[in-house]
Amino acid sequence: MQKNFELLATDRHSKARRGRLTSAHGVINTPAFMPVGTQGSVKGVSPRELRELNAQIILGNTYHLFVRPGLDVIKRFGGLHDFMNWSGPILTDSGGYQIFSLAKLRKITEDGVEFQNHIDGARAFISPEIAMEIQVLLGSDIAMALDECVPYPCEYDYAAQSTEMTTRWAKRCKEWKRRNGETAKRGLADSPIRPLADSFLFGIIQGATFEGLRKENAQAIVDLDFDGYAIGGVSVGEPEEEMMRAVEWAEPFLPENKPRYAMGLGTPPQLLELIARGMDMFDCVLPTRLARNGTAFTAAGTVNLKNAEFILDKNPIEENCTCEACREFSRGYIRHLIKAEEILGLRLITLHNLHFYLNLMNQARAEIGNGTFEQFRKAFVAGYKTRDAVTVE
């Protein structure tokens, strides 16, 4: 399939959009949620279960895969799709976010970033060009330009310099792809070989919490003409209003006919708020991570199934939910499994949570198509009780 993004509908009452992204490994209807497959596996579920959940695309973390199993292994298996037996689209991050949040002894220069990984401390160096090479080797359908993700809070001067460097890095990624687009092949070995030119490359907009930087950087990154645009430097511990502002400042600079990705976000109401602010794609570890702690998402908010109130509860996690966990098991049984540390417990909650997120996007797409997204968003946000325990990661 030729890579392509079509804008199918726009909401009259908000900036919400209904789109369709066509990649070499399949179609992604937007707004879309991408389950996170950090280490070549979406934690707790199998690729078959992801297919049954109708996940359209998953995310692979370049940094984690670079550290373990390492590129020689991925290369031997012809890329990430074949390695993990997932034949749908894969978005890979550039590795930047994790280098800045997990790795040790980072040394950032104009050239790139040197670091020691968090597993065995081995030294490595990643430049914009190397980040591209790695993502090509992973067989990425949507690759991300290497950026520096500054922490929250961040001094203005540092943010300003960093944002400018992120722009120069983005340009180098674009340039690398232009020069290698027809020769570099994504995936190897037994996989059908596809030229890099068939894959998407997204630029990432930084700028910390500063309006001027966010706007300047949005313009600068858009001027480089990427296949899509991401808002980065969010989900780094900032308050929700700062996160929303980062998106609102950048969004007016983004071309209508390109997909927009809000990185690492968010809670269910946040996703709807971000859709209303013109975002199309999301990834977040909340549905899988909270499941491992016994927390399930429902339309009324999160519930922790470890709570004693569920001991004798014969109801499913959520009434009328059509996921496997809710069709077949009770809250009382799942609570028992979590308390007894049986793996099936976190599997079932993970299935439910991913279904919840994917289904929320399903609904959002339908409501946008029907012109009823604003009512839907307002009703959902009003009905969803946010607890302190759920914070943006």
- The residue ranges that bind its own copies (CB under 8 A) are 39-41, 43-48, 68-69, 72-73, 76-77, 83-85, 311-312, 314, 324, 328-330, 332-333, 336-337, 339-340, 342-348
CA atoms within 13 A of residue 1's CA, in its CB half-sphere: 16
Q: How far is the CB of 209 from its own copies (least distance, A)?
A: 34
Q: How far is the CB of 338 from its own copies (least distance, A)?
A: 11
C-alpha–C-alpha distance, residues 320 and 5, integer Å:
34
Q: How far is the CB of 336 from its own copies (least distance, A)?
A: 4
Nearer to its own copies, 72 or 319 (CB): 72
- 82, 141, 280, 283: the active-site residue: 283
C-alpha–C-alpha distance, residues 59 and 35, integer Å:
6
Q: How far is the CB of 389 from its own copies (least distance, A)?
A: 23
Return phi, psi of residue 84, to 5°. -100, 5
CA 46 to chain centre: 18
**Active site annotation includes 72:** no
C-alpha–C-alpha distance, residues 228 and 32, integer Å:
14
Nearer to its own copies, 1 or 119 (CB): 119
- 11, 93, 141, 280: the active-site residue: 93
Nearer to its own copies, 76 or 387 (CB): 76
Nearer to its own copies, 281 or 346 (CB): 346
Residue pair 215/253 in contact (Cβ under 8 Å)? The answer is yes
Nearer to its own copies, 146 or 291 (CB): 291
**Active site annotation includes 283:** yes
Residue pair 168/148 in contact (Cβ under 8 Å)? The answer is no
Sheet holding 36-37, edge to edge: 32-34, 281-283, 260-262, 228-231, 200-205, 142-144, 90-92, 58-60, 36-37
Nearer to its own copies, 169 or 333 (CB): 333
Give the chain's end-to-end CA distance (angstroms, integer): 34
Q: How far is the CB of 113 from its own copies (least distance, A)?
A: 23
CA atoms within 13 A of residue 208's CA, in its CB half-sphere: 17
Q: How far is the CB of 293 from its own copies (least distance, A)?
A: 14
Q: What angle do CA 131, 132, 133 make, to 5 degrees?
A: 95
C-alpha–C-alpha distance, residues 223 and 312, integer Å:
59
User: Which residue's entry shows tokens 């209807």?
Assistant: 29
Q: Which residues are catalytic?
A: 93, 283
